[in-house]
Homo-oligomer: A and B are copies of this chain.
């Protein structure tokens, strides 16, 4: 394998995603318990519901991609009652994503897979969607925090 021509390696793309997930975890932490579940504006969902969406995508999606098993998207099972529960599930998902990612071979990224039985795209496109969708919703979360008078974490903090 000629790694010199890779514009990004699989390992670095995982690191990139997990860096974003680490920042999202910090945004979850920044919300007061009550506001995490109740604050919303413009008819949008509170950040707890956006977090449920992210939990319903990340690890379950990677499991499907690796096992090539198309199960329906399930957000209901990711609806939790406390911030602590969300953070616990977040950390479990971090490990699961790492474990499934290790099973992905470079040639898998260009293969098409019908994720959740409805998103039929090359694996790399679905993975970019997971990351972009997380950044997008977290951007919403930043506005929620600002409106609540809370300073969000620095966007470039990913450690």
Contacts and interface: CB of A to CB of B under 8 A. Distances in A.
A6 B13 CA distance: 12
Interface residues of A, number: 42
B5 A8 contact: no
A109 to B, nearest CB: 4
A31 to B, nearest CB: 14
A137 interface: yes
B146 A133 contact: no
Contact of A10 (B7, B106, B146, B155): B7
Interface stretch (A39-47, A54-62, A65-73): A39-47
Contacts of A109: 7-8
Interface of A: 1-10, 12-13, 16, 20, 41-44, 106-107, 109-110, 124, 128-129, 132-133, 135-140, 142-147, 149, 155-156
Given A129-B156, A132-B135, A139-B142, 14 more contacts: A2-B2, A2-B5, A5-B106, A5-B107, A6-B6, A6-B7, A6-B110, A7-B9, A7-B13, A8-B124, A12-B124, A135-B135, A139-B139, A140-B143
